[in-house]
Chains A and B, each alone.
Chain A
């Protein structure tokens, strides 16, 4: 295995162009090191941690920009993220162990493109964009189209994720990330559900509702039919029940060692209901009628 520590984005892109599918980018290493030990070594390992200015959280023009090398712990402990992007904060605090959060990067979690990746459904509901560098220039790709399948993303073999651009939701918007797993944060999620709710000015209706479903499809998913059902309405117990059942039909889970597909649909239903109840109460100050 060849090994490289590029010092610039340009150098990293040249290495990826040269080595193509043989190359593997490594950042924190909490996934890639396991692959190296238990699956196979790549032909060339490209460690991007020596590239300056790829880590950090900054507010810029109504967005938060999070560098690809920012650790999950740095996101979890950022007062800015907790205040402006509670749905992402909530996911990062349920992300494996402290040791892993101290090492794992958001860029790695994204580029791994696992349907169960903790940060992915929050990024979908936040309608965030991946900032990708290619040898012929930079482009911004919405996460809606970034994720293409398990382990497959718009970064491909030759692109490098440099930053995540996250529009800050309107003030008053609330978000939660709910994870179902046997061993809490330590486990890979059987199901993860991200819910974001923005109330109208009078806090009487849900002006906007966004629902993200994790580990129940080849990519993290949105639940557009469920969102449309709820938009502009006051959330009642009956409506939330209907929304949970509809969200379960929008998931396309598989059966694997962690859960059956049927069980996953039940959990989607339960977590969607719970997420709607919690965000409605947080956003409007009212219990669900």
Chain B
């Protein structure tokens, strides 16, 4: 059964239809052709699909597309201002926090949400904020360095 979805993604009104069983991630990637949010575990365990939903980081793979109706959603595509990267994106580059890069969009969305809710995160805040994001290349220390750098710049 098809559901009509009227939502706001990265500040732009979007209207499209999707099957009721569609996840928000599939809606973003397959219906809207926004491939920045990554499909990985597809069970809400790895965080590669993280987007910001009404101000909160969530796993888009286990969220119904239908629940995007009336919501404000921010994806990795919404962070840069033209060619100018968002400070969190730039911090990941500057500290070398990117290895294969597949987990990076999810991390950056978790960090963006963290820095939206607290300007000066503690080490514990940081660890909680990214505890739902897995980096299989295991470059965790540099990711934490990037978060400290982004917090200092914002």
Whether chains A and B associate is yes
Question: Residues on A close to B: CB < 8 A?
Answer: 1-3, 5, 26, 29-30, 33-34, 36-38, 41, 45, 47, 49, 73, 96-100, 102-103, 184-186
Tell whether, in the assembled complex, residue A37 and residue B64 are in contact, meaning their CB atoms are under 8 Å apart: no
Interface of chain A, main secondary structure: helix
Tell whether, in the assembled complex, residue B62 and residue A29 are in contact, meaning their CB atoms are under 8 Å apart: yes
Q: How far, in Å, is B62 (CB) from chain A's closest CB?
A: 4
11 other contacts beyond A41-B21, A47-B67, A99-B50, with CB at 8 A cut-off?
A1-B19, A3-B20, A29-B67, A34-B42, A34-B43, A96-B44, A97-B133, A100-B44, A100-B132, A102-B56, A103-B53
Tell whether, in the assembled complex, residue B64 and residue A33 are in contact, meaning their CB atoms are under 8 Å apart: yes
| Given A29-B67, A186-B132, also A1-B1 (CB < 8 A) | yes
Residues of the A chain whose Cβ atoms lie less than 8 Å from the Cβ of B61: 33
Tell whether, in the assembled complex, residue A37 and residue B42 are in contact, meaning their CB atoms are under 8 Å apart: yes
Residues of the A chain whose Cβ atoms lie less than 8 Å from the Cβ of B56: 73, 102
Q: Is B73 an interface residue (CB 8 A)?
A: no
Give the nearest-CB partner of A97 in chain B. Answer: B132
Give the nearest-CB partner of B129 in chain A. Answer: A98
Residues of the A chain whose Cβ atoms lie less than 8 Å from the Cβ of B32: none
Tell whether, in the assembled complex, residue B132 and residue A98 are in contact, meaning their CB atoms are under 8 Å apart: yes
Give the nearest-CB partner of B114 in chain A. Answer: A98
A13 to B61, CA, bound (A): 28
Give the nearest-CB partner of B109 in chain A. Answer: A99
Q: How far, in Å, is A19 (CB) from chain B's closest CB?
A: 13
Among A26, A37, A49, the one with the most B-chain Cβ atoms within 10 Å of its Cβ is: A37
Tell whether, in the assembled complex, residue A3 and residue B131 are in contact, meaning their CB atoms are under 8 Å apart: no
Q: Is B74 an interface residue (CB 8 A)?
A: no
Q: Is B37 an interface residue (CB 8 A)?
A: no
Q: How far, in Å, is A194 (CB) from chain B's closest CB?
A: 22
A37 to B25, CA, bound (A): 13
Q: How far, in Å, is A231 (CB) from chain B's closest CB?
A: 37
Tell whether, in the assembled complex, residue A30 and residue B62 are in contact, meaning their CB atoms are under 8 Å apart: yes
Q: How far, in Å, is B17 (CB) from chain A's closest CB?
A: 12
A140 to B22, CA, bound (A): 35
Residues of the A chain whose Cβ atoms lie less than 8 Å from the Cβ of B19: 1
Please report which residues of chain B, range 7-60, place their CB below 8 angstroms from some CB of chain A when the two chains form the complex.
19-21, 23, 42-45, 47, 50, 53, 56-59
